[in-house]
Every structure is written in structure tokens, then in C-alpha cells.
Amino acid sequence: MKGLIEANVHYLKQAAELVDRLNDGFYARSEPIFYNSTIGGHLRHCLEHYESFTQGLLQGRVDYDVRHRDEMVENRTQVAHERIGTVIAELLAIEAQGVVDAIPIQGKQLLVKMDCGGPRECGEAPGTVAEEAMWQVSSVGRELQFLVSHTVHHFAMIRGICQSAGEELNENFGMAPSTLRHRKQCIRSPASGSNSGFLG
């Protein structure tokens, strides 16, 4: 579990370093070639998934659809930086305090809910059969893996927005762990494969 938490904290620290360098105008500016998304929008989206995870952990029910969609985080770098720090502290507290052991579910499993689209009944009140059927069994470790993958995906979009504007980034920003491992292997053995793309 420690390694998974450290992996998530690693990417969040990358985000903190980035927002420290950006002004609010560029941070909140929409980019047409990236579906009119913004750096702030992608980061806010990621942070709120982390918050859904940490807030739902002790109840054993993580609902990724219940998010604040805070425009201040999306539009102001200082607010985003503060929120990143809070999320990092919450993740480290999970590790340090053994919060995982306190999950009140047999086998330390979580119930997780996320709107994945597709045909289903909408607008069901909490507690109804249709609403309860949307919850799926997961685990703390699996959700930490999901958060890494989800964050890397959105950071790749952030990387693209920055590159399109000529903004320099750390060469590993927005790179999946598998991609980084593959690139190291390619350096050691150049004939082993290609060295392109965000995904490994």
C-alpha cells in the first residue's frame, strides 16, 4: 500500500511544481485543440477524485460522482496549490495512521460508484434498488491504482496543452510508469522498441 500512496503523491507533487510556474491566465485558458479544456479543469477534476476517495474511505463507500467542481481550484493557481497540499497530506495520513485497517468492511473491501454512461435508470434516489446496483466491490489498493492511471491520463492532456503553447515541462510529466520503464529499457537496448507516446 505504501508504494501506491507514494506513486500518487509523486504525481501530485509534479502538479504542485507546475502550478507554481504558471499564471492564472494561462492556467485557466481553454485550448481548442484539446476540446476547449484547461489545465485548471484537468487538475481540478483529478483533485476531486482524490477527495472522493479519501472522504469515502472510512465509510467504505467511495462515490466518484459526488464532487464539488470548485471553480476556484480550476481558475486560480494558488488555490490549486493549497488543495494539492491538502490532498497529499490526506494520502500520507492514510499511510501513517493505518486508516486502511479501520475500513468497516469484511476483507477491507470498498464499494465504489462512478457514472460510466450506458443504458441505465437515471435520477434514482439514494437507497433505491437501481441506485444501490451501481455500487461495485473494489479495494483500497485497486482504487489507488485507478487514481494513478486516471491522474496520468489527465496529466498527459495537461502536458499537451503546455507543449502547444511552448511551455517547458519536466520530461517525465504526464508519463505512465510503464512508459518510463519501457523507455529505460530502450535506452539500455535500443533495438527493443519504439520510444514514443504517453502510454506504455
Print the domain residue range for 131: 2-118+126-174
190 belongs to a structural domain: no
Q: Is residue 27 part of a domain?
A: yes
Q: How many CB atoms lie within 10 A of CB 55?
A: 14
Res 173: pLDDT = 80
The CATH number that applies at residue 77 is 1.20.120.450
In a domain, 197, yes or no: no
**Rounded CA separation 51/49 (Å):** 5
Q: Is residue 168 part of a domain?
A: yes
State pLDDT tens for residues 37-95: 999 999 999 999 999 999 998 888 999 998 888 999 999 999 999 999 999 999 998 87
Residue 187 falls inside a structural domain? no
What whole-number distance in Å separates Cα of residue 156 and Cα of residue 160?
A: 6
The number of distinct structural domains making up the chain is 1
The pLDDT value recorded for residue 110 is: 83
Distances (CA, A) of 84 to 17, 128, 156, 165: 10, 35, 18, 24
Letter for the amino acid at 28? Answer: A
Share of the chain above pLDDT 90, in %: 51
Residue 188 domain-assigned (yes or no):
no
Higher per-residue confidence, 128 vs 60: 60
Q: Taking Cα atoms as reference points, which of 105, 179, 110 lies closest to residue 141?
A: 110
